[in-house]
Chains A and B, each alone.
Chain A
Amino acid sequence: MNLSGLAWRNIWRRKRRTGITAISIGFGVFLAVTSSGIGDYSYTNMINASAQMGWGHISIEAPGYYQSPALDKHINQVGAIQQMLQNTPGVESNYVRIMGQGMFASAHKSVGGAFLAIDPNTETGAHNLFLRSLEEGKLFAANSSGVVVGRGMAQKLKLRLGKKLVYTTTDKKGEIVSEIARVTGIFTTGVKEVDSAFVLLPINAVRHTIGYKSDEASLVAVMIEDQRYTTKVLASVRERLDSESGQNNLLTQNREILSWRETQSEIAGLISLDRSSNYISQILIGLLISAGILNTLLMSVLERTREFGVMMAVGMAPHSLFFLVIIESTWLAFLGLAVGILITIPWYFYLNRIGIDMSGAMGDDYTAGGVLIDPVLRLYLYPETIVAILSVVFLLTLLSGLYPAWRAGRIPPVESLKAM
C-alpha cells in the first residue's frame, strides 16, 4: 500500500472527527466566499456606478481639471483622441463630455449645481447612470436646447417637462454666460445630492454657450470592459496617446490620464478600507479554522505515537512519516474543500441570482461615497477570487499539518514504542 492510500485510511479511523474537521474547513470556504463575494459584487457595482456618473473608469482631461473643474481648462482634438481609443485593448467605449458648475434658475427660484454636457447621439443608459435613471420624459436631441434635470432639482425649482430653465456659468475665458433650456426629462438616481444638484445638457449647445470649438471638451470619459484591469488599460491608453502624439503634431497638448481611483478618490478610499477590514476578518476566520485542523492532526498523531514507533522499527524513514502526515492533511484539505464547495454552491447561486433585500436594514439612504449602492445583498466572485479562496484554505490546511508531521518524524522510535 502506498503512502497516499495509507493516509486516506488513516483519516477515516475517526470518522466523526474527520467529518467535523471537514465541515469546519467547508464552513471556512463558505465564510470566505460570502465575504469576498459581497466585496467583489459591491466594489464592482460602486466603481461602475461612479464611472457612469461622468468621469468614466479612465478620464483624459486637461492638467489640474480634476482638482479644480473650471471651464477654462479643456482638452482639444477630442475626435482624434476618440479615434485612437477605439482600437485600444480593454477599452469598451468612450464619451466626450463637458462638466462644470453653474447656477440654475426657474421662474420661482435659483440653485447652485453642476452640469454634465453629453452627446445624445452616442450616450446610452448602459454607460450613463442619469440616462438609465430617466424617470419622466426623454433625452434631448443633439442640436436642441433641452435639459434633463434631477428630481430633487425639479422639485426645488418647481420644474415640469416643457418648462424653461436658465443656467449661468463661466465661459472659456472666465466670463459669465447664460442660456435658456427647456426641460425634456427628469431623472432619479436615488442619490439625493446628485438628484438635487445635477443636470444634463446637450454638448453642442454648451460648446456654443461657453465658447468651445467643436473638438474641445472638458474630458474624454473611457469605459473599460472590466474595472479590475483599469491600471493595465490606463497604461495602454497612455502609451497609445504618447506614441500618437510623437507622430501627430495635432496631439501635442498637455493632458492628464487619470483612473477612477484618482477621480473618485472617496470611493477608492471606502473600498480600500472595507477591503482591509474584510482581509482582517478573513485572516481571523483562517486562524480559527487552522487551530481546529491543527488540533485534529495533532490528536491523530499523538494517539498513533506507538504505531509510528512500530513503523520506524520496521524501517520506515522519519521523513516518510512526515510525508504520511502531510498527505493526511492534504486529504483532509481536499475533503474540506469538497464539503465547502457542496455547501457553498447553492448559497452562492441563491445570492447571485436572487439576493437578500436589505433595504429594511439600510433605511432610505442607499448611498456610499456619493454613489448608489444596491440594497439587495448579492454575491459575485471573480474566477481569481475563487482560485485564491480555494488555494488559501488548502494551504492553511497543509500548514496546519506541518507541526504534527514534524513531530511524528522526530520522536525516537524507542520512545514511541513506550507510548500507550
Chain B
Amino acid sequence: MAPAEKKVIISIQQVSKSYQQGKVKVNAVNDLSLDIEEGEFTALCGPSGSGKTTLLNMIGGLDLPTEGVIKLELQELAQLSRMALSHLRRDRIGFVFQAYNLIPVMTAYENAEFVLALQGMPKAQRRERVMSILKQVGLQGLESRRPDEMSGGQQQRVAIARAIVTHPAVVLADEPTANVDSENAEALLDLMEELNQREGITFIFSTHDPRVMKRARRLVYLRDGQLDPAA
C-alpha cells in the first residue's frame, strides 16, 4: 500500500526580502523557494543574519516579501488585507517567541485564553479548552500566576499553550529554547514533539540550537538569505 500523500501547507516560491538599513540595502532573503508539508517538524538553521527570522515572519504574515509568493493553505499572504491577515494569524498560526512575550498583566490562564477571546469563543468553552491545554503543557495549578511569578521554562510553556490553544495549522517558533536552561529546553522540545505527533500540528523553528536540530525531522539550512545546498 502506498503511503498517504501529505499536502503542502506552506509554499514559498522565489521569495526575496530586502530592506533599507540606513543607506545600505540589505537582502535578508534572496530568491528562496521551499515547501513545507502538513505535520512537519522542521528547523530553519543557520548563523545569525542568515534570514531565518525574516523567513519565519513572512510565513506568519507579519512581514511581506519584496518579491515572490508565500502561500499558507493555498492563500497568498500578500493578497490579504491587514484584517484578513490578522484573522489568519489568529485562527491558523501559532507563534512562540524567543523572549516568551507573554502579556505581563495577564495570568497564565488569561494569556492562553487571549486568542480564543479574540476569536469570540464563548467563555465556558474557552475555559474548558484552556484548562485542557494548560494540563497538556504541564502547568496545571499555575493558572493564576502572572509571568513574573513563573520561571523561564514555565513562561515558555504558557507561550506554547497560547500558540496551540486554537488548534492552528502551523506553529512558528523563533529560537524557542534560547532563553531556557538545558533541562527546560529538552522538556519543551519533548512537549512540542508530542504535540506534533499527537495533534498533527506543523512546527517550524528558527534555531541554531543543536538540541533543536537533533530533534527536528527536517533541517533547512540558510546562508545569506538562501538555501545552503552545501550544508
**Chain A interface residues toward B at CB < 8 A:** 1-2, 6, 9-10, 12-13, 306-307, 310-318, 320, 412-414, 417
Contacts and interface: CB of A to CB of B under 8 A. Distances in A.
B47 interface: no
A307 B101 contact: yes
Interface in B22-46: none
Interface in B48-93: 57, 60, 62-63, 82-83, 86-87, 89-91
Interface string B85-116: 01101110011010001011110001001110
In the complex, the 9 A-B pairs of residues with the closest C-beta atoms, listed nearest first: A315-B90, A9-B105, A414-B63, A310-B101, A414-B62, A317-B86, A315-B89, A413-B62, A313-B95
B223 interface: no
A318 B87 CA distance: 11
B106 A314 contact: no
Interface residue range, chain B = 20 to 34
A327 to B, nearest CB: 14
B117 interface: yes
A207 to B, nearest CB: 82
B231 interface: no
17 contacts: A10-B105, A12-B105, A310-B95, A310-B103, A313-B62, A313-B89, A314-B90, A314-B162, A315-B87, A315-B89, A315-B115, A316-B86, A316-B90, A318-B82, A320-B118, A413-B62, A417-B57
A417 B103 CA distance: 13
B91 A315 contact: yes
Contacts of B82: 317-318
B103 A311 contact: yes
B89 to A, nearest CB: 5
Contacts of A2: 117
Interface of B: 57, 60, 62-63, 82-83, 86-87, 89-91, 94-95, 97, 101, 103-106, 110, 113-115, 117-119, 162
A211 to B, nearest CB: 87
Contacts of B90: 314-316
Given A313-B95, A315-B86, 17 more contacts: A1-B106, A307-B104, A310-B101, A310-B103, A311-B114, A312-B86, A313-B60, A313-B89, A314-B94, A315-B87, A315-B115, A315-B119, A316-B86, A316-B90, A316-B118, A414-B62, A417-B57
Nearest to B162: A314
Given A414-B57, A414-B63, A315 B106 contact: no
B62 A1 contact: no
B101 A1 contact: no
Contact of B86 (A10, A12, A318): A318
A12 B87 CA distance: 29
Nearest to B174: A417
A12 B105 CA distance: 9
B103 A307 contact: yes
B110 A1 contact: yes
Nearest to B103: A307
Contacts of B117: 1-2
A381 B117 CA distance: 45
A314 B104 contact: no
Given A13-B104, A417-B62, A317 B83 contact: yes
Given A315-B87, A315-B115, A306 B104 contact: no
A290 to B, nearest CB: 26
A12 B104 CA distance: 12
A153 B101 CA distance: 86
A6 B87 CA distance: 20
Nearest to B58: A414
Contacts of A412: 62-63
